[in-house]
Structure 1
């Protein structure tokens, strides 16, 4: 880095930088490769359709940060600033690495005499925004300490008992990147006076101010600050890079793919199980998750938005979506070697132990879920929680016959009376007594069929919704009819509970 008289020796910097880069990128590549092998070994999941819709989702949810801007504030805006700060500063970071070999290197299109000038202005302003966002984040972690960050008890007792040092280290790393960039430029502006540097100085309004603060020091001291800032910046980047696949910040790499491969079917749709061909009925081991479900585990940011809206968590149940996913991820990482050996034919059944039950995910955790999907609606990286829970329920119901005793009546009611309350089928349309509600048997030419469902037919509160819907349809002049006593349960309750066999029988 031959920037002026006080730069480090020309030969030492490129050689040392090369050695550090090879070591850091080699370790990063090895870790990433192991993570990829786990994805490759996981079950199949068709997620490559409707590419245009998937790309639009990436633009909206990943780059547009929609979930952050519409969610809790100021945390959402803070993340927006940090995300886009990194996007803007990435070009600067690449330039700094390259200038370790060629001090006069500039990325194509970002020469100071061209677009590089406005870019430097934007970069300085963005870095100030990132510093403010990091300070807000540090305030939340160290002083205000919202429950969403530290875990909701009792469901997240394990998370609440952790030290959370990783979050603080990452925030300090981000702060360090911004500060060292200002110090590096400020030092350059003091020591160098060539035309290109002067042009950069005019655009870099914040870095120029830092240079004024440094100008009171002697040239040798400023040179030390400048060179130290460059090296610290480089080392932080490479350390950060290797922390990513080993921490919750892996989402920096996996969040965009996770959004791209999100479920495009209706939110309540569950995976189809071919009962005649499948060898297992549900998920009970890590090796039985699909690659997309593994990618979900990689992508969790531990932000807690899912747990903050979960009715089970709020009511003191043992389920918290975040803790569930973290438990699965921790098991995945701790058994990585065994799982990969199993895929190579070297492992045994003990290497892929059952995770459902007392081993990891307790039955009560799974039965606490209402399958409302509020967690998925809140998740900024579009993680799918409910499908994993239902898959594990399928194992409990269909392989272990292990479920709350109250469900026996529900299953029997659906089998014999076509509703989970076991109320006589002759009462299916009692909600319509005294009303002129057309039956399909009397009006076979009706344009629309209004399927009322079990809750709308038997539950007193849901009946009010049914009656209101009928009034709306009549008021709108819609030609509709209901099945009345001929209507049967569609089995969706059985499916969400995990009894896929009963669902397919009824459907």
Structure 2
């Protein structure tokens, strides 16, 4: 008998999960569509040119910085690791989430399309999923330790950060509990050689082995439904609240559309055709600039590298991006409504220059590009500060 397992073993009415999963995916897609509409409030930006070059650059980045995590570890010449501990944490969480997601897709494909998870393939598949599931749990625990015990200055802990970590932890742990109960009720008794290929579930199964079969079956059903409903609830919660977990999707998109031109090159102004000079309203940024605001992971590496911030001046690249993001979200309903009615969304609300972003912040930037050099997702704070400087000089005649 070849090693395998039934996807809906001990589960009745599994079709309910199919319906709920379709609903969750629909909500996810709609939330993403609404966010794209928000970015499109900004001005046009030709970031769809040179798609072949962008694809090659993105693949290079994916291998060097996502799979190998070079930029996340802060690798410099000579193989020095400036961000070793944060890099390890991010790698564990990122790799765990990605591998478990791919594993879920493969399980669905094997169940609904063509069954291929059997024999040695199934055993190896189980081992890989368990290893990366354990890495995810370890990564979350280390992240909680770093955020709430070490408390580095560059991290501003919000409730959404804690919620994201707790949701990942609960889903991962409940998955191992379900696996342990299933192994205790089946493989541990009939095929113990299979069980060891799922080390996380196997250890829990040994603890559950003293329970009666009827108890194992009952608790397996309860925890299975709890685990699946929690996973779908996480998708819906993240979609409706635009939780920070969205950066798993938005940040790679931002990397793909990053500036491929020379670093530090200014966008030229057509003096005769331009209606405004620089940017003084959030909707006058380009759609790529607005995408930047959502792609920012609030890791604080830009802040730690900023000479103005380190010298005590009132400038934090991270704060600039986050303040602009809050301003965009605050004005979004009005901007959407007025953009649908007219090409001029109006000037009502808080002034972006002076109130949202102080003039001291704008002028204290040295344009050294240290912040953009260390940003793992290619957010561009300097470009935004330069555009606001242009407006101050060319439209408001304000020079320090």
Q: Same fold (TM over 0.5)?
A: yes
Equivalent-residue separation in structure 1 for 2:348 and 2:34 (angstroms): 17
Equivalent-residue separation in structure 1 for 2:161 and 2:363 (angstroms): 32
Structure 1 residue 83 and structure 2 residue 94: aligned?
A: yes
Structure 1 residue 141 and structure 2 residue 152: aligned?
A: no
Note the residue ranges of structure 2 that are not aligned, 5 or more in a row. 1-5, 76-81
Residues 275, 116 of structure 1: alpha-carbon distance in 2 compared, 3 angstrom cutoff: farther
Equivalent-residue separation in structure 2 for 1:113 and 1:181 (angstroms): 22
Equivalent-residue separation in structure 1 for 2:201 and 2:249 (angstroms): 30
SS of 1:349's partner is coil
Instruction: Tell me the TM-score normalized by structure 1.
Output: 0.69
Give deviations 1:416-450, integer Å, cap 9, x for gaps: xxxxxxxxxxxxxxxxxxxxxxxxxxxxxxxxxxx
Structure with larger RCO (C-alpha < 8 A, sep 6+): 2
Give deviations 1:282-309, integer Å, cap 9, x for gaps: 0111111111111111111111111111
**1:56-455 superposed matches below 5 A:** 56-69=60-73, 70=75, 71-94=82-105, 98=108, 105=111, 111-150=117-156, 164-193=158-187, 200-244=194-238, 246-345=242-341, 348-350=345-347, 354-358=351-355, 360-404=356-400
Residues 129, 39 of structure 1: alpha-carbon distance in 2 compared, 3 angstrom cutoff: same
Considering only aligned residues, what root-mean-square deviation do their CA atoms show, in Å?
A: 2.7
Residues 105, 18 of structure 1: alpha-carbon distance in 2 compared, 3 angstrom cutoff: closer
SS of 2:203's partner is helix
Contact kept, 8 Å, 2:188 with 2:195, in 1: the verdict is: no
Equivalent-residue separation in structure 1 for 2:367 and 2:190 (angstroms): 60
Count of residues in correspondence between the two structures? 381
Quick check: which has more Rg, 1 or 2?
1
**Structure 1: which 4+ aligned runs deviate by more than 4 Å?**
1-4, 106-110, 193-200
Per the TM alignment, residue 174 of structure 1 is displaced from its structure 2 partner at its CA by: 1.6
Equivalent-residue separation in structure 1 for 2:272 and 2:68 (angstroms): 44
Per the TM alignment, residue 200 of structure 1 is displaced from its structure 2 partner at its CA by: 4.8
Equivalent-residue separation in structure 2 for 1:124 and 1:22 (angstroms): 26
Residues 66, 330 of structure 1: alpha-carbon distance in 2 compared, 3 angstrom cutoff: same
Equivalent-residue separation in structure 1 for 2:289 and 2:189 (angstroms): 54
Contact kept, 8 Å, 2:339 with 2:345, in 1: the verdict is: no
SS of 1:401's partner is coil
SS of 1:74's partner is helix
